[in-house]
A and B are shown apart, each in its own frame.
Chain A
């Protein structure tokens, strides 16, 4: 018997992984949640059938969404993480002794419960005493915050379904308000390659640019996401991720990351011409 998980990356492109075992399936108030086990990628989580995280390549995503802003401003103390129910982003943040407080806002409690059970590799630090989890809409949570956070990480699903509110102008505006004077906003920025993802990417970039004086995009290679070519957004009121990178300070922390290093940091902001053109066209 052969069992395959398939995601439609576009109407005409499919991506499949041979599945050993279907560990969990459930319908929460917001989405369908599935956990599979595969020889090639280990345990992986999907939401509404879309790939979220695999044991084999999650380190790339979580390294890049956390260490790039942390190396830019190592004195970050107060962090807000939106989405990120698998816990991987929180796990990387807890490696910094200097981080004092991590508020994690995940709309779907069932995602966190499922990840605690089936994906301890990413969910292992959710009980760190600095972490506080709020189960509510990120858009609502951030609305009431003002001048509170040093860093906001938006680790969301795609801009359809429960994550749609996290790609809107009102959300980025509220994040701007919730950040301190020297705050940084990092977001999962979709992919430039396939058209529907590229449009979401352009819209997000356009809206973030309206609020933040410094607004850059960096990339990573994530094998299980559509096209594998994935982007992150870096926006700040003060810090430039290249100019203000303190390589020595970060390297002295000796964190031993599997993907991130300060050379990757610098290189990841070098974008292909077609991506530059897409971003410039996002006016």
Chain B
């Protein structure tokens, strides 16, 4: 990385110049620097609306960058140690889908852990690829999915040598990393691309003593959610690639689904966040790591809660841990994570990232302060004092191995009929069933519905998880494929 060059922020600087030029806009957007919508201008501020502009010569064009966006992308690649970097304004979902669409065509196989994000599964519906799932290990005590074990990956590659790519979470939502280096080497030996979902891994590129990032590991592509822990605006993201992938082809794939009216607010936020991380990332994430470590220690002192960390590293399915993640196991105090999540929000005005059956997750990032962490710790202490109950009778969470009966795309477009979920055992699902949190599919199109799955769906509902995916908003009925 070239620190001198990294002080530039070409898109941001071009926008400042545009503003200073007092240009008369006879182009879109129609709010014309906010004058057309006084209410919105009052709400978001004049400064913000004045640079909510459309692409124009001095500001370049995201679909075909030749000037300031091109330069900003070069700086991005330099900062992240990639061969090339793309700005993404359609969410990390688009970055993930572009990775898969760039290397898989209809009928191609792709190896992925079951705990992939929904965006990866949706990419299979778009392109017709067939998933080969690897069972992510599970920590029985915590009930959380882990990374992929090397032995499982080896076996899967051996069973499906024709697979085009392997997809890896780095890290998972809970902060767990697989052995990315070994998986990358293994996959490359078998001529498979390595696609890495680094939605929660922006800081791996800048902090010290962090798990290995995708570009360091030699992976081919990585989707990096800059907005999650890097400080840019919501929905802004990055796609990084190495030399092994054709830059021009990836741009073509991107342009299939990318807006032609890219938001300059998002682009400028990415440019500024990149500069900030490149120049000061080491300090920022040292602070973040220290805050998270402090909170973990204090929460563990309360007793009952278990804020887990690097002690769970096992050299395989829990190869490394993202220490900025604050995941807390709550079941020993007799409360489901989702219950603690609700109590924190309803009674203590604290919004955390998610709660699942047994855990809660708080995101600690560049914007956090010691004072607010004290509030979180104290609230957890109070919740234990006021709500602790016997943990007997709580659900024993088990990983359910999906049975893929047909490609997701085929199932998605097949003739279907609706049956009550309770009577659907033995059918092939035509829809998703997702439980939020943690947003990992219970069912995807093309998979067999089993009694075990039905039981899990009802349990998650009872525990207050937010279920989505089926056309039936109440999640009582499901569309299944005609036999």
Binding site for B on A (CB under 8 A): 137, 139-140, 143, 162, 164-165, 168-171, 173-174, 177
Contact = CB atoms under 8 A, between A and B. Distances in A.
Given A169-B348, A170-B348, A139 B374 contact: yes
Given A168-B348, A170-B379, A137 B385 contact: no
Contacts, number: 43
A123 to B, nearest CB: 25
Nearest to A136: B374
Nearest to A172: B382
Contacts of A169: 347-349, 379, 382
A169 B344 CA distance: 11
Interface in B300-318: none
B345 interface: no
A170 B382 contact: yes
B375 interface: yes
Contact of B382 (A137, A165, A173): A173
B374 A140 contact: yes
Interface string B339-354: 0000000011100000
Of A165, A168, A177, most buried by chain B (CB within 10 Å of CB) is: A168
Of listed B370, B377, B379, residue having the most chain A CB within 10 A: B379
Contact of B385 (A139, A162, A168, A177): A177
Contact of A164 (B348, B370, B371, B385): B371
20 contacts: A137-B370, A139-B375, A139-B378, A140-B377, A140-B378, A143-B378, A162-B371, A164-B371, A165-B371, A165-B375, A165-B378, A168-B348, A168-B349, A169-B347, A170-B378, A170-B379, A173-B382, A173-B385, A174-B382, A177-B385
B381 interface: yes
Contacts of A171: 378
A139 B370 CA distance: 11
Contacts of A140: 298, 374, 377-378
A140 B370 CA distance: 11
Contact of A173 (B370, B371, B377, B386): B386
Given A137-B370, A170-B348, A170-B382, 8 more contacts: A140-B377, A140-B378, A143-B381, A162-B371, A165-B374, A170-B378, A174-B381, A174-B382
A242 to B, nearest CB: 29
For the complex of A and B, 3 pairs with smallest distance between CB atoms: A170-B378, A170-B379, A173-B382
Contacts of B382: 169-170, 173-174
Contacts of B370: 137
A168 B381 CA distance: 13
Contacts of B349: 168-169
A242 B349 CA distance: 34
Nearest to A210: B347
A212 to B, nearest CB: 14
A165 B298 CA distance: 16
B396 to A, nearest CB: 31
A169 B350 CA distance: 11
A107 to B, nearest CB: 9
Contacts of A168: 348-349, 375, 378-379
A137 B372 CA distance: 11
Interface string B359-374: 0000000000011001
A114 B27 CA distance: 58
Contacts of A170: 348, 375, 378-379, 381-382
Contacts of A174: 378, 381-382
A139 B369 CA distance: 14
A168 B350 CA distance: 11
A139 B382 CA distance: 12
Nearest to A174: B378
Contacts of B381: 143, 170, 174
Contacts of B375: 139, 165, 168, 170
A171 B370 CA distance: 15
Contacts of B371: 137, 162, 164-165
Contacts of B347: 169
Nearest to A146: B385
Nearest to B350: A170
A170 B378 CA distance: 6
A171 B347 CA distance: 12
Contacts of B298: 140
B132 to A, nearest CB: 47
Contacts of A177: 385
A268 B374 CA distance: 34
Nearest to B376: A170
Nearest to A203: B349
Interface string B384-414: 0110000000000000000000000000000
